[in-house]
Amino acid sequence: MQATDTTARAIAPRPVPNDARWHRPAPLKRTRASKPKVRTGCKTCKIRRVKCDETRPICQQCRKGRIVCDGYDSQLAISKTKGLLTPSSPGSAPPTRRFSADEVPFFDFFRHALTDDFAGYGCTDFWSRVVLCEVMSSNCVRHAVLAIAGLSSAISESMGSGRSRTRKPSALCPWTARNIISTKQRIALQHYVQALSLFRRQVDSKAGAQSPRAVMIMSLLLITFELLQGNMDAVDALMTTSIGLLKDSLTQHRQDVPTPKRKAIWLPKEDDVADIEHILPFLSIMGGWTPFLKTQRANLLLWDTSPQTQIPEFDPSDTRQLQTEWSRFFSRASAFTGQALITIMQTHPPTVPITLIQQQQTYLAHLDTWKSILSTALSHATTLHTKNSIRLMQLHHLTATIAMKCCLDATDTAWDLYDSDFQTLIDGVLSLAASSAPSHLSSNSKQARKYHASFTLTFGILSTLGPAIAKCRNHNIRMRALEMARRMPWREGSWDAEAELFGKLGAVLLEERGRVK
């Protein structure tokens, strides 16, 4: 009994003194927690005094209310990204970038689905190695890659079967921020705006000279995004701006115009610049032969077209080096044919300077050498992808040979002598497409129906069919080339099949009707 009383006293509540009630604390007054006012919303939401979700380029509040969004304060947008471009000291290990949970699917889509599509038949490792490595050390590249992946994923979803199918973006029907198709496109635009803003800050930075390699990579990524949108005016502007930024480092840029001396700034050596610097001149020169990049047609005069005394020595079995050297030569030869045509048409009556004839003969001799090099490389190729890459180079070689032989003819009748070569060219394209039928060429394959990107910045089929469509006057050959171009992918760099055919078919029909009369 005594133990029970002891236990009861132990668990009983402590007695309160008589005067404790006068010392009870007063009940706390409830107040609203103070938070810093958000000043980064859009201008429209600030005026309306509503909470902005800061979605870019158009916030959801304005979208739901069907109100024109006036955008964001540029200074506040820049302050949010402050510190993202702090350059690391030369030789230091680059910081590793972590992807958020929302970004991982886009990066995986880029890495697994787009790198092969973008490379096409090419053997370059620009997409599979250079870009993927740069993603981990550069915020600019990271946002650009996520933008490309988001847009490509949005295009892929929009190409589904059914009545809701959306047209592919092209020069005839581009995708713009005014007509956002899906959430993925909106996210892609957000990443693109951030990438572009960071890149501008990087270029305008007064800290010193920017790495040519970094500028090349970012320029090509931004150009790729605009090409995927079908925004050719932006592609044209980006190419011209990039060439201006890199003109001192591009070996193919004409250097005969004296430039003011600038203070030399040391930059760390970048051993792969030589392997990727030919991509931008190639895009500019090949884009100059399309009706969409008008500035690039004028930019043909910027490139050095003097033929080299000899072809550099390299191992033909190294397909990556083979493609790099061939791309440089092919770009130089294409620029020469364009400059020659401009020079001849500027004289009245058209006359051919002796220097152009001499350079033409040198180029033709080099083309004969390249024919042997490509044949040797093909005999050493072991994989189907490598063989197809070299076969495509051979098709471009045949196209370049025909164009080189006809470029000094102001009457445009020399093309009539090469109907058999055009026929060989078309047969080669058919054989190439049938031998492997990768996703970016076969419109009947399951992979093509999924539609990843169907887009490449390297060599493509359309540029080989262009002269056959525009210059060959044999009706059957020309119609076969047109039909093959119609079945080809919608985009190979700036060569947009749909838009190209829209204009060329009309010109072909008018020309043939005129000849019948």
What Å distances lie between residue 443 and 126, 395, 450, 490, CA to CA? Answer: 26, 21, 10, 10
User: Which pLDDT does position 78 carry in this prediction?
Assistant: 35
State yes or no: pLDDT of 335 exceeds 90: yes
**Rounded Cα distance, 170 and 193, in Å:** 21
Structure tokens at 378: 């093909």
**Minimum mean pLDDT range among 1-10, 108-117, 271-280, 380-389:** 1-10
- Torsion sign over Cα 243, 246, 251, 254: positive
State yes or no: pLDDT of 393 exceeds 90: yes
- Most distant CA pair in the chain, distance: 132
Only one residue has tokens 């390699």, namely 213
**pLDDT band, very low/low/confident/very high, at 513 (cuts 50, 70, 90):** low
Q: Please compute the mean of the pLDDT values over residues 30-56 and round it to a whole number.
A: 68
What Å distances lie between residue 53 and 19, 39, 77, 244, 440, CA to CA? Answer: 55, 12, 14, 38, 39
Better-predicted residue by pLDDT, 477 or 9: 477
What residue type is assigned to position 480 of the chain? R
**pLDDT band, very low/low/confident/very high, at 450 (cuts 50, 70, 90):** very low
**pLDDT band, very low/low/confident/very high, at 451 (cuts 50, 70, 90):** very low
Q: Please compute the mean of the pLDDT values over residues 75-91 and round it to a whole number.
A: 38
**pLDDT band, very low/low/confident/very high, at 442 (cuts 50, 70, 90):** very low
Q: Decide: residue 51, CB within 10 A, 0-12 exposed, 13-18 middle, 19+ buried.
A: exposed
Q: Answer whether the bond into residue 57 is a cis peptide, omega within 30°.
A: yes
**Rounded Cα distance, 222 and 457, in Å:** 12
Residue 485 in contact with residue 463, Cβ under 8 Å?
no
What single DSSP character describes residue 412? Answer: S
State yes or no: pLDDT of 209 exceeds 60: no
Residue 286 in contact with residue 296, Cβ under 8 Å?
no
Most confident range (mean pLDDT) of 44-58, 294-308, 393-407, 426-440 is 393-407
**Closest of 431, 322, 445, 325 to residue 384, by C-alpha:** 431
What single DSSP character describes residue 20? Answer: G
Q: What is the DSSP string of 260-328?
A: -----------TTHHHHTTHHHHHHHHHTTSSS-HHHHHGGGGB--PPPSSPPP--TT-HHHHHHHHHH
In 247-299, alpha helices (H):
273-276, 279-287, 294-298
**Minimum mean pLDDT range among 257-261, 288-292, 322-326:** 257-261
Residue 44: strand, helix, or coil: helix
State yes or no: pLDDT of 35 exceeds 60: no
Q: What is the DSSP string of 110-131?
A: IIIIIHHHHHTT----IIIIII
Beta strand 491-492 with 495-496 is antiparallel
Better-predicted residue by pLDDT, 327 or 170: 327
**Minimum mean pLDDT range among 386-390, 439-443, 495-499:** 439-443
Q: Is 438 left (phi over 0), alpha (psi -120 to 50) or beta?
A: beta
What single DSSP character describes residue 40? Answer: -
**Minimum mean pLDDT range among 50-54, 305-309, 323-327:** 50-54
State yes or no: pLDDT of 145 exceeds 50: yes
User: Which pLDDT does position 259 carry in this prediction?
Assistant: 47
Q: Answer whether the bond into residue 307 is a cis peptide, omega within 30°.
A: no
Contacts of 415 (CB under 8 A, 6+ apart): 402, 406, 409, 467, 471, 472, 473
What's the whole-model pTM score? Answer: 0.74
**pLDDT band, very low/low/confident/very high, at 506 (cuts 50, 70, 90):** low
Q: What is the pLDDT of the chain when averaged over all its residues? A: 77
CB atoms within 10 A of CB 386: 19
What residue type is assigned to position 148 of the chain? I
**Minimum mean pLDDT range among 132-141, 385-394, 484-493:** 484-493
Structure tokens at 291: 């009706």
Percent of the chain with pLDDT over 70: 73
User: Which pLDDT does position 180 carry in this prediction?
Assistant: 76
**Rounded Cα distance, 300 and 285, in Å:** 6
**pLDDT band, very low/low/confident/very high, at 163 (cuts 50, 70, 90):** very low
**Closest of 226, 217, 311, 218 to residue 273, by C-alpha:** 217
Residue 492 φ/ψ, nearest 5 degrees: -130, 95
State yes or no: pLDDT of 131 exceeds 70: yes
